[in-house]
């Protein structure tokens, strides 16, 4: 990695060790001492390595591909995984364009022939790019740059990407089509999509058979997107006039049936290999990791919502409030929660809602599991089959800002809500539709009882007899003489015997010790 990465960490006050060339066992032996791990493509972050990484909070990949990181295992352990998708985008896009020119004009073969002392001018009859149709599979960051360059070459661009909106297609100047239409129309096809279960083998034998005869194919994205054996047969038959691969299914590709095939060009995964790109990704991964470790800002994370350095301070009190609300719901309702809705209104509606939802889930799932954070809480929620939704209200209600959490249980919907007093003081304002104002901090008792005279005295007597001091006492009720709720902050944890005694007081329906 470019040495500027380590320099940035040190400038930001972080201690950094540069340890290139470690074997997997050597890395595993020391990883437990580190909060962050900055890697390139050669380092494999496996489940086994993550199990040994007791302190690890973030893995930063200097580059775009994260095939070498076990994302599910990292998420389950609460480790943020970041990449740098923009640092080498231009470099990779330019490499794809370079290979397209090389295919169109048969440059490698012409160079080899000429340097061998031949002058085979008539043998290398190329084609122009002007007026040809480029088929773009994947229209994300790199794909959009390739499209821009191709349009500058006066090519027509058709794009297949399930995530490409019609509005974005118009903005890019491309025509959005389905895959079969692209295969049938494209004179050149270039791939710019990640390798997933959906994209693996996207240019299969069947897909290659649907291409326009004489098509030329470029892949600077990921090996495994193309069936390489089928591509070899298509080149031999003339269905494909030329192919240029920078990536292979198995790397390093020291042997391939494609090697030596007429019309085939290969490079050793050079897409990101320029001096500018290497510097850019090193700087970006260091800045992103340092921001996260020092401020909580999350940029280009694979497994959690992004949170900019500007947003982080403003969102921090809301996330603290949201986590407390999640803890309250989890401790009171427990396993009965089957679905969760997170609503924001007023000032909170102007913020990014995903981190607020993540904080609610972290609080909720922390009631069931140890070592839960915003990274692994959504994973744990999915494992439990918990349905999670988000709602944003632009209007302002009784409070200038509000976060509401609605839990669906077999008994119905139960709601809690909170606001901020001042800029950063979280307060509960509703608990299961009972108005009550309380701080959620330290050990507390949640008590539901019949609203009758003398209850508070009996409660105070029990706590006093057990040397439990009351810090704050917050009350609310639905109706006079009906159901009442007490949230009591106490200075010490109540034991099971105290809870049992409280439950025996006349009119008490529920007693739940809480911890925040």
Q: What integer pLDDT is reported at residue 311 of this predicted model?
A: 78
Does the predicted model carry a pTM greater than 0.75? no
Which residue shows structure tokens 């295919």? 103
The pLDDT value given to residue 502 = 95
**Phi/psi at 108 (nearest 5 deg)?**
-60, -45
Q: What is the pLDDT of residue 370?
A: 67
State how far Cα 127 lies from the chain centre. 42
DSSP 323: H
Strand partners, 228: none
> How far apart are alpha carbons 426 and 433 in whole angstroms?
18
* DSSP structure string for 330-374: HHHHGGG--EEEEEEEEGGGGS-HHHHHHHHHHHHHTTTSSS--T
Q: What are the structural domains of the chain?
A: 4-87+276-295 (3.40.50.720), 89-266 (3.40.50.720), 310-440 (3.30.1330.90), 442-516 (3.30.70.260)
> Mean pLDDT in runs of 10 for the chain (516 residues)?
94 95 95 96 94 96 89 91 87 96 96 94 94 96 94 97 91 96 98 90 97 97 95 97 96 92 95 88 94 89 79 87 95 93 92 90 84 82 90 84 95 95 88 92 94 93 95 91 93 94 94 94
Predicted pLDDT of residue 422: 79
Active-site residue list: 222, 251, 269
> CA 251 → CA 28, 242, 243, 267, distances in Å?
23, 21, 18, 12
DSSP string computed for 179-192: HHHHHHH-SEEEE-
């Amino acid at each position: 990695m470019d040495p500027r990465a380590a320099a940035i960490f040190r400038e930001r006050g972080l201690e950094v060790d540069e340890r290139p060339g470690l074997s997997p066992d050597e890395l595993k032996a020391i990883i437990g001492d580190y909060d962050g791990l900055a890697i390139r493509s050669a380092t494999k972050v496996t489940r086994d390595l993550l199990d040994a990484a007791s302190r690890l909070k973030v893995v930063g990949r200097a580059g775009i591909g994260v095939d070498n990181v076990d994302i599910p295992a990292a998420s389950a352990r609460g480790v943020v995984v970041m990449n740098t998708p923009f640092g080498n985008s231009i470099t990779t896009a330019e490499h794809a364009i370079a290979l397209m020119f090389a295919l169109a004009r048969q440059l490698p073969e012409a160079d080899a022939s000429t340097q061998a002392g031949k002058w085979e001018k008539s043998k290398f009859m190329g084609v122009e790019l002007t007026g040809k149709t480029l088929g773009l599979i994947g229209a994300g960051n790199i794909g959009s740059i390739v499209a821009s360059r191709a349009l500058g070459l006066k090519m027509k661009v058709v794009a297949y990407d399930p995530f490409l909106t019609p509005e974005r297609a118009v903005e890019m100047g491309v025509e959005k089509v389905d895959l079969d239409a692209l295969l049938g129309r494209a004179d050149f096809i270039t791939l710019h999509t990640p390798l997933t279960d959906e994209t693996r083998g996207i240019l299969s034998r069947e897909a290659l058979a649907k291409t326009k005869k004489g098509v030329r194919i470029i892949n600077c994205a990921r090996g495994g997107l193309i069936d390489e054996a089928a591509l070899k047969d298509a080149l031999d038959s003339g269905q494909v006039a030329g192919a240029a691969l920078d990536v292979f299914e198995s790397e390093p590709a020291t042997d391939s049936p494609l090697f030596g095939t007429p019309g085939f060009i290969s490079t050793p995964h050079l897409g990101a290999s320029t001096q500018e790109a290497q510097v850019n990704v090193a700087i970006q991964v260091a800045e992103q990791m340092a921001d996260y470790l020092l401020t909580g800002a999350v940029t280009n994370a694979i497994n959690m919502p992004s949170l900019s350095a500007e947003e982080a301070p403003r969102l921090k009190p809301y996330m603290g409030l949201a986590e407390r609300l999640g803890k309250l719901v989890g401790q009171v309702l427990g396993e009965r929660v089957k679905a969760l809705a997170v609503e924001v209104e007023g000032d909170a509606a102007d913020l990014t809602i995903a981190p607020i939802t993540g904080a609610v889930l972290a609080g909720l799932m922390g009631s069931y599991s140890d070592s839960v954070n915003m990274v692994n809480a959504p994973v744990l929620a999915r494992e439990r089959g918990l349905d999670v939704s988000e709602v944003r209200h632009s209007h302002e209600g009784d409070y200038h800002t509000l976060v509401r959490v609605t839990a669906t249980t077999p008994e119905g919907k139960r709601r809690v809500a909170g606001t901020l007093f001042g800029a950063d003081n979280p307060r509960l304002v509703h608990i299961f539709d009972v108005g009550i104002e309380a701080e959620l901090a330290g050990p507390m008792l949640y008590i539901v009882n019949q609203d009758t005279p003398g209850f508070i005295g009996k409660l105070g007597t029990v706590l006093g007899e057990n040397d439990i001091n009351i810090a704050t006492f917050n009350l609310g009720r639905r109706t006079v003489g009906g159901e009442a709720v007490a949230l009591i902050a106490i200075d010490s944890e109540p034991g099971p015997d105290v809870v049992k005694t409280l439950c025996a007081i006349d009119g008490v329906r529920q007693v739940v010790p809480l911890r925040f």
